[in-house]
Structure 1
């Protein structure tokens, strides 16, 4: 059913509309304080997944090689560039909120588009649901995305609600692809994959809190490597 994907995209739509409509009613201290809680929640979910790891060496190798690939391919810069080009279309259809220049508006809009569409939590959660049918990660993400979208919409307006369209398309496609490879996986592969996803969620939490700006998008290849590296490790080293 891919419930988590529908719910996550739906709450971004509702949060974007609700936040824009109530922008004058939300206290500034709430806008400033909630993101820190979002970051802490992401770190907590990451820890819950990391403890599932069955082979620490597999997790470490996947992350190291994955980051090297991501950095060499400049994934984070490319994703930001794609988002910028796509969001230039907004200039024609979406008015810039009062108090923001077009440049500042686009910069912030690109940032939250990447946050909702290409975050480690969302990509891991959609693949995880497609492979296992477990929507818990995306449902937990949705609980965070609703107030997040609302908070961003207080400053950027109804444009935030539009993000649900590319978000749904990306996560839904990833989940469908994951369904195809699910029969080829093992519980050990799934556990190590979840652990790598947990590290990305932990890094995302640090970034949201403003502690350290981890290049989370450049870490995404680690998710693709977790299962092949697990298979190689079992063949070379054994369980």
Structure 2
């Protein structure tokens, strides 16, 4: 869990720096930085998605995950958490409420979906090697500065998502080390890559996608990959 704790701390520290710089970064620079980061996130997602060795596994994983996610209404749950935080921190400022919720949900998705979060947590759980999560911590800290400067304090609360999500994967990796084959890791990473592309689209405000409802696609793809005949 050491790597995950450092990662969560990096998000909080980066958010603090972002808040300090909030008044000193004009809106036009903030928007351009966010657009640039959005494009970079999209490229990272494409690189991850193209690593798949069996696109059928990824497609099936997304289909199953979408059904599960809609049934559980994960997106609605995350938004309710964001609204609750907004009520506590923003008073009657409707614009502030919306921004805090958006910061929490967007940052949670960006930090929790991806090869580094999944593979890094698995490596930490299996071998105790935290090198991948340390590298991710540096990246997330930088992203937190940019996100917080434009979306506010809600980004800092995504550190809880990082703790829960990566901590759970780390613990599960220790219990299920025997089933986490190279094929399983490859396909769940590729599935996460497709969702990362969706995060980029969401950040660019091209289309409103309920990405949180697709989160179950990652474990679904892992299960399908495990039972898929080689």
TM-score, length basis structure 2: 0.82
2:226 aligned residue (221, 228, 231):
231
Alignment of 1:152-171 (within 5 A): 152-154=147-149, 159-160=153-154, 162-163=156-157, 165-171=159-165
Equivalent-residue separation in structure 2 for 1:149 and 1:34 (angstroms) = 12
**Structure 1 position 219 matched with structure 2 position 217:** no
Aligned to 2:107: 116
Aligned to 2:127: none
Q: CA deviation at 1:202?
A: 1.1
| Structure exhibiting the larger radius of gyration computed from Cα positions | 1
Equivalent-residue separation in structure 1 for 2:5 and 2:164 (angstroms) = 12
Q: Which consecutive residues of structure 1, in runs of 5 or more, have no partner in the other structure?
A: none
Equivalent-residue separation in structure 1 for 2:52 and 2:99 (angstroms) = 36
CA displacement 1:20-51 (0-9 Å, x = unmatched) = 22333212221110111111111111111112
Alignment of 1:27-66 (within 5 A): 27-66=26-65
Q: CA deviation at 1:161?
A: 6.8
Aligned to 1:209: 204
CA displacement 1:44-99 (0-9 Å, x = unmatched) = 111111122111111111111111221232220122113323553336xxxx6xxx
CA 1:114–1:164 in 2, change beyond 3 Å: closer, same or farther? closer
Deviation larger for 106-115 or 168-177: 168-177
Q: Is the 8 A contact 1:62 1:225 kept in 2?
A: yes
SS of equivalent residue, structure 1 residue 37: helix
Equivalent-residue separation in structure 1 for 2:42 and 2:101 (angstroms) = 23
Aligned to 1:174: 168
Q: Which consecutive residues of structure 2, in runs of 5 or more, have no partner in the other structure?
A: 125-129
TM-score, length basis structure 1: 0.79
CA displacement 1:167-208 (0-9 Å, x = unmatched) = 343234323333222332211111111110111111111111
